[in-house]
Amino acid sequence: MGEIKKVVIDTNIFISGFGWKGKPEEILKLLENRRIINFITPDIIEEVRRVISYPKLKFPESLQIKILEFVLFYSEFIEPRKRITLIDEDPNDNKLLECAIEANADCIISGDPHLLRLKKFKDIKIISADEFLKIFSKRGP
């Protein structure tokens, strides 16, 4: 059995996994089966809470609660000690870098072009759900 990967999952992966299934849902199944460990910060959980309630998503309140409970239950909470201001186009994305550094994560899994464009931050890969699954499946069960 390969080592469990330490990851930071972006809000858009949770939204896609619950709302539209596909590759993001496969990531959530890995999380649920404890094959990967996800890290969150108070800022990230606040973003998840805010985004799942967007009217355009039309997520019923029961689904919003389910998503929030899932994220909280299957994630490790940490407090970043360092602020990062690398991403200017969307400063909100910096919180994922802060979390990944604090957690010493292997990668950030995101669908956000601002983050994906970086490809790497320090030793942390920034990859799509599809890329992560390809890498993860090569390592075996």
- Residue 42: give its domain's CATH number: 3.40.50.1010
Full domain range(s) for residue 47: 5-138
Give the pLDDT of residue 89.
75
Q: Please count the structural domains in the chain.
A: 1
Residue 97 and residue 95: Cα distance in Å, rounded?
5
Say what the pTM is: 0.93
> Are 4 and 35 contacting, i.e. CB atoms less than 8 angstroms apart?
yes
Q: Are strands 120-121 and 124-127 parallel, antiparallel or unpaired?
A: antiparallel
Ranges in the chain, pLDDT < 70? 1-4, 139-141
The C-alpha atoms of residue 128 and residue 141 are separated, in whole angstroms, by: 20
**Residue 114, pLDDT score:** 86
Predicted confidence at residue 1, as pLDDT, reads 36
